[in-house]
Structure 1
């Protein structure tokens, strides 16, 4: 209603100026029969009111649409009315919607092609890494051990790229089942044994063997890998152990990954899950990409888990993975 009146304000202004001028002209011309003058003014006002009323009734849907907030694309495609102006608007919206759909399809295809390329590239890179690993795994000299450590870094970097590229298609690449938490923790620790040795940190596993959670083993393994890598990296030269502990409540189960490392400053703590955020310590440790904890949070959301970080500078950091009991 308000939009309708706003659109017709110029018409009403000019009409009332005209209505004021015509009686004045009649009066100056010597015609002084007031009832006829007022009658003609009333008749003119009646026809204007009838015109505006008819226009409002015919365009009511149109004006309502123009005044509403569109929350979804389907709302924009609703019919506005049968008169020429609403029909023209509907045709314009249909053309715009079709152009929008074409653009979406185009960019989705480009994104899918990019993801396919990344996946193929990662798998191709893993083959020479495996060959190099087999070549040096039996050598005990320091050079071979250094090569193995660098291969581990390469493999983790490739895994991060692979998991990041698959995140948008998560629904097609996960399988929830009952998982032994202790077995998965031990598997992740075994995969990172050289990382522990190099940084002179040892694991302390306090997870009952019979404890299970419902999750996707591959994605949860990636989460634990990221948490463990961060814990060891920021404990090097300071902390002595990385503790894996479990706390149980009536409706939840919490896996704690605790280190005795340098800790996270309070001003950085609220931003550690932001993509590409490396913080104060990230500038000191050049390996930091700022993507690890971001991926951890996003994967936890999709798995319906929660992740919380508590930290104190100079004391250490505790990451809590919270699982809902089924």
Structure 2
């Protein structure tokens, strides 16, 4: 894939004209036009409508841009990433994750390591899913924590599966379904759901789970944040899918997790750049394993919903 063509595509969207985008890329308008045509040929997509003088995104072009905009932004950060890699100390480990995973799977192990006076310095960063995979692959961060499968890497990653968490419904303890040990897809199909917008991971899981049984979810509200989704469920706006990583049973308060009877599991993994295992990752991963074991020991419910691989 021609990265220069992808950057030109992004610049056209941002500036609104081929001329301005060509100027940003230090090329002539005719060269930019040829590069854009080559990109569309490689993708097999018509990204822009040329029926008028001004280029306008087609429906395919709009969807393509939404899917890769974060990745394209990350490409522009590669020089900064290279400088960070060149200047960082030899005893540092940079970790990146989405906010809920950072809170539940990164912060507690880091606190434990701090109490042991570890010689390694740790930095924790929060990014979107697209940015995590692309920046880890480019070497911008040493280690990423994600749920599988990997979807958006620009270059190959090494993947280390760590944890399995059972897919559950997150609902109030006084909900009728909370009295059951497990719930079926048929039972939740008629419930109102709060969930993420389309093409985000937890929304994809909901659509796949109900779709496999011939249902479409009843979505009362959707948002772009898993944290907000869980908060909406706590306020009684609807139920949602979750697991013991995003919603630890011991911290659930008036809410509870009920596993889906179909016995579906989510795998969480560490990722790093291919063939570049971070030299200081092992103490953190050991502390993460200890943290999960303590969670499992905290209650029989957690032990059933969370497993080390």
Taking structure 1 as the reference length, the TM-score comes to 0.23
Report which of the two has the higher share of helix. Answer: 1
More RCO (CA 8 Å, sep 6+) = 2
In our comparison, the structure showing a higher alpha carbon Rg is 1
Report which of the two has the higher share of strand. Answer: 2
